[in-house]
Amino acid sequence: MTLSSRRLEEKLEDLIRQGLTTPAPGQSFKNRLGEDLRRELEARKSGWIRAWVIDAVIGRALSDLKFRRDLLEDPAAATSRAGFLLSPVELAAFKDMSEEMVEAFSGALDQRISKKVDHGFDDGPASNI
């Protein structure tokens, strides 16, 4: 690159750099946006259904008879006592649950486990069973 073309490039870089210079964001803007994001996350959480949470609660209901009774009677209190933090939508999913539904789920789970045993577990060494 010749000296004059290098000088031209530097001039162009200066021009672009000046055009691109942006003052740093103000603290009040940063705080306000941070708060907006927190509220957005909160709003979205209320509509979430997390499969692993549902599975964990049902798993506990299958193995713990007292928890199952409590869950059917008052899902909010039972899950809160057991340390599960459920969104309103997740709670609503348990509000209409009946004993039969838990039993049906238990039956379906038994079938899935039997199938795994028949065909061999694919996610762990057989020697560990």
Partner 1 sequence: MGQILKPKLPSDEALVARVKEGDETALNTLYERYMEKVYFRIGGQVPRQDVEDVTQEVFLALVRSLTTFRAACSFSTWVNSLINKKVADYYRRKYSRKEVNWGYGEQGQRHHQPAREKEVMVKEILHRLPKHYREVILERLAEGMSFKEVADSMDYSLEAAKSLYRRALDAFRKEWGEI
Instruction: Give me the residues that bind partner 1 (CB under 8 A), please.
Output: 8-9, 11-13, 15-25, 29-30, 33-34, 36-38, 40-42, 44-45, 48, 50, 87
For residue 119, what are the CA distances in angstroms to 79, 81, 114? 35, 38, 9
| CB-CB contact of 91 with 76 (8 Å) | yes
Structure tokens that stand for 57 in this block: 């609660």
Q: How far is the CB of 93 from partner 1 (least distance, A)?
A: 16
Q: Closer to partner 1 by CB, 39 or 69: give it.
A: 39
| Nearest of 94, 100, 108 to residue 57 by alpha carbon | 94
| CB-CB contact of 82 with 126 (8 Å) | no
Q: How far is the CB of 85 from partner 1 (least distance, A)?
A: 8
Q: How far is the CB of 84 from partner 1 (least distance, A)?
A: 12
Give the CA angle between residues 5, 10, 16 to the nearest 5°.
125
Q: Closer to partner 1 by CB, 4 or 98: give it.
A: 4
Q: Closer to partner 1 by CB, 85 or 129: give it.
A: 85
Q: How far is the CB of 45 from partner 1 (least distance, A)?
A: 4
